[in-house]
Amino acid sequence: MWVDPLTHFSRALTKLNSLWIAACYPFASKGRKLSVHYTCDIRNPQLIEAGNDIIIHKDVWLHAWPADTSVGNPTLQIGDACLIGRRSHISARNLIVIETDVIISASVLLQDHGHAYEDVSLPIRLQGIARGGRIRIGRGSWVGQGAVIVCTEGELTLGRNCVVAANAVVTKSAPPFSVLSGNPARIVKQFDPVKGAWTLGSSRLPEPDGSTYQQSAKNLFRPQP
């Protein structure tokens, strides 16, 4: 199989860039084997926690913004063995948690805030960033190409092993083992543990402790004692 010799040059640059970032960027915490393509843009690494064996592809933006409610605390947490596809943009003002083994495909937007626009006397660009909410992507999930996950208030949680279809726009939480599609995204398929099979639509099953998934999702963001 023919391979363009210039790919070796690109790989060498990415390796050097990864070593530079691991040695010099003041991450809140970082694990081992962080691979970052040399075209990536990382802002405020002191607000980013990165786990082990993370791969970040070409032209990815990781932007962590300091917020009044979380001064000094990390606003972006990326777990072990995550992959972030090319041209994806992750912008965290409050808190975005990407748990372990998550695949984020190309051209994904993941944002826990919006832009203020309510003041009609000012251009939108002068109104600043809205307060927003918090996002958690459960372990083992897959976010398809071109998907958008935006939380403008409250908490948005996708449970473990969720699938977000290509070009879906997610603005609400979903239970584990759900497939989401559309704009706005809705659950089109879900694993039913009672039947032991995937079923069309949402099964709306309660959690094992009897709570709803929305209640359980909120508990994930509560400070641990």
pLDDT band (50, 70, 90) for residue 195: confident
Provide Rg for the chain, Cα atoms: 19
Q: What's at 94, amino acid-wise?
A: N
pLDDT in tens, 160-175: 999 999 999 999 999 9
* pLDDT of 224 strictly over 50: no
So what's the pLDDT on residue 72?
A: 67
User: Mean pLDDT of all residues in the chain?
Assistant: 89
Higher-confidence position of 16 and 203 = 16
* pLDDT of 207 strictly over 70: no
* pLDDT of 216 strictly over 60: no
So what's the pLDDT on residue 130?
A: 86
How large a percentage of the chain has pLDDT more than 90? 71
pTM: predicted TM-score of the whole model, two decimal places? 0.86
**β-strand partners of 56:** 36, 84
Asked if the 6-220 domain carries CATH number 2.60.40.420, the reply is no
pLDDT band (50, 70, 90) for residue 225: very low
Q: What's at 188, amino acid-wise?
A: V
Mean pLDDT across 193-211: 69
Which CB contacts under 8 angstroms, 24+ apart, belong to 123-129? 129/65, 129/93
So what's the pLDDT on residue 69?
A: 55
pLDDT in tens, 173-187: 999 999 999 999 999
Mean pLDDT across 72-93: 94
Domain residue spans of the chain: 6-220
| DSSP structural state of residue 196 | T
pLDDT in tens, 94-143: 999 999 999 999 999 999 998 889 999 999 999 988 889 999 999 999 99
Higher-confidence position of 74 and 175 = 175
pLDDT in tens, 36-62: 999 999 999 999 999 999 999 999 999
With helix as H, strand as E and coil as C, how does 78-112 read? ECCCCEECCCCEEEECCEEEECCCCEECCCCEEEC
So what's the pLDDT on residue 16?
A: 95
Burial class (CB in 10 A: 0-12, 13-18, 19+), 99: buried
